[in-house]
Chain A
């Protein structure tokens, strides 16, 4: 019984391992069947010339990287790449800055601060279809409240969702609105771990609020900021619902990202292009996993230090 004392509460050695894997078998099978296999099917889709018929019969000819070549040569490729980068970068910056400003503000514990902070979670909890359709109507060219407000201050109406020069901006605005609560909550919890004594010492030294933020809050929040931004990056890369519901990536692909383009190819047309759609999707998976691995590395480093 000597080694059971070193691990109180668990059966010894080998029996424990067997019991553990008995508990883990369902989730392992689940991962294999419902993550690995769909991913594998997606890779397979991208390497064959699928049509609706061969999709059902499963006899699509192997074409190697032809689908990837098709995708790279497609005139949509460069704009979709650019939109993905712009969408992700702009959303991240604004969500983080607004989230941090709000976290610092709510960290001052005034009356109602707890309730108001809880209310800020609402956009994050709403189904995306609800947020997206609400923003669609608010941004409606003729009857939307946004254009009415602009009109009131003497600005000409903007065709938010129907003009190619504004559609990307519109989906970015909606997505920032959805992402702020997540940044607020995580950064706020990061602020809780900064010792109050530091601020008191700085106040005694005569540091003003601005200095306290840049000398204490911001540097000490760096680990949490890194985690927030990296997770945000992975999640923003794969944003699909909002854009699809608001603009379908249009007009004329002006708001299409890799996520919406992939779906457009596979499901959005009368004649589905499953192969190229899967190819675009796999590029997105690679990007998400690369940044995901960076995230895990950073998180592990922080856990060790």
Chain B
């Protein structure tokens, strides 16, 4: 691509500069997480953690582990529920194409447009009556609504690409739709399962609206509420707050490093939330 090394070298420099500007808040989060309490109010603030401390991270270990554990459980629960619901639906919409499938597809797309706080208020009203407030399964169900419509879309798009001849062969061998789905379609859709699982986990891990509405003050609160309580208590230990934020960002970082191609595929699938 490069006609002259000099010209692209200049572009790389600009690119690095722009990326640096874009990621400055992330750097600042890291910097503050290592800053000592007595340096926190310094003016101007230190641009580098010259007197770096791990005190913030010690506080995280002391206070935030239960929150992280809850988030992990809720994230994994959301992944399982989302895949279990949407993979069969994707198969049916892509390969069995029933009458009424188009309507269902439309409803799924429309469902993505509903603001989260509206869903949260509806869930609150229902959970209050059912006694499901402050329960982990309740939050898993609510969080899965963030991912299910998107997941069906991804599965449908992906499974449409599986050759029909293959399924026909399975049928000739006497496999019913369930068998075909379980032994052929699902194993072949591994990439779609990975993409869906990543997003379902990330969205549920990041969820603040449902958590704040449905499990606030309960025994099992996720990490987003852990951070929120820190800020809300007028906490001045910003190193601890930012250290928690760094830890809460780890899944996103891991996903970006290990699964970047799935992320890009998911975004460009078109109907992703921003």
Q: Which of A16, A122, A267 contacts B252 (CB 8 A)?
A: A122
A27 touches B89 (CB 8 A): yes
Interface of chain A residues 127 through 151 with chain B (CB within 8 A): 127-131, 133-138, 142-145, 148, 151
Asked if A119 lies at the interface with its beta carbon under 8 angstroms from chain B, I say yes
Tell which of A58, A125, A292 has the most Cβ of chain B within 10 Å. Answer: A125
When the two chains form the complex, which single residue of B111, B165, B252, B268 contacts A185, counting CB atoms closer than 8 Å?
Answer: B268
A117 → chain B closest CB, angstroms: 8
Report if A23-B96 is in contact (Cβ < 8 Å); known contacts: A38-B126, A112-B16, A127-B208. Answer: yes
A1-32: CB near B (< 8 Å → 1, else 0) gives 00010011111000011011111101110110
- B101 interface residue per 8 A CB criterion: yes
Identify which of residues 162-185 in chain B touch chain A, using a CB-to-CB cut-off of 8 Å: 163-171, 176-177, 181
Cα A129 to Cα B206 with chains together (Å): 8
Contact B88 A129 (CB under 8 A): no
Q: Mark B80-96, 1 if CB is under 8 A from A, else 0.
A: 00001110110111011
| Given contact pairs A142-B43, A143-B41, A292-B113, A131 touches B25 in the complex (Cβ within 8 A) | yes
- Is B190's beta carbon under 8 Å from chain A? no
With the chains together, A241 CA to B2 CA distance in Å? 43
Chain B residues within 8 Å of A262, by CB: 117-118, 121
On whether A41 and B122 interact (CB within 8 A), knowing A35-B111, A178-B274, the answer reads yes
Q: Does chain B have a CB within 8 A of A231?
A: yes
Residues of A within 8 A of B242 (CB): 133-134, 137
Task: Check if A220 is an interface residue, CB within 8 A of chain B.
Answer: no
Q: Which of B136-165 contact A (CB under 8 A)?
A: 141-142, 144-145, 148, 152, 163-165
**Distance (whole angstroms) from the CB of A272 to the closest CB of chain B:** 10
By a CB distance below 8 angstroms, the chain A residues around B152 are 27
The digit string for B23-39, where 1 denotes a CB below 8 A from any CB of A, is 10110110010000000
Contact in complex: A55, B125 (CB < 8 Å): yes
Residues of A within 8 A of B195 (CB): none
Stretch at the interface among B4-12, B48-56, B57-65: B4-12
B219 at the interface (CB under 8 A from A): no
Question: Is the CB of A201 closer than 8 A to any CB of chain B?
Answer: no
* CB of B19 closer than 8 Å to a CB of A: yes
Tell me if B187 is interfacial: C-beta within 8 Å of chain A: no
Decide if A113 is an interface residue (CB 8 Å cutoff): yes
Contacts of A151 in B (CB 8 A): 43-44
* Minimum CB distance partner of A246 in chain B: B231
User: Given known contacts A11-B171, A240-B116, is B145 in contact with A34 (CB within 8 Å)?
Assistant: yes
Q: Which of B85, B141, B249 contacts A26 (CB 8 A)?
A: B85
Partner of A189, one of B106, B110, B125, B268: B268
Can you show 22 pairs from A to B with CB atoms below 8 A apart?
A4-B171, A10-B97, A21-B100, A26-B89, A27-B152, A28-B104, A38-B118, A123-B22, A126-B206, A137-B241, A148-B43, A152-B44, A177-B22, A182-B274, A236-B274, A240-B116, A274-B125, A281-B115, A281-B118, A282-B118, A285-B118, A289-B114
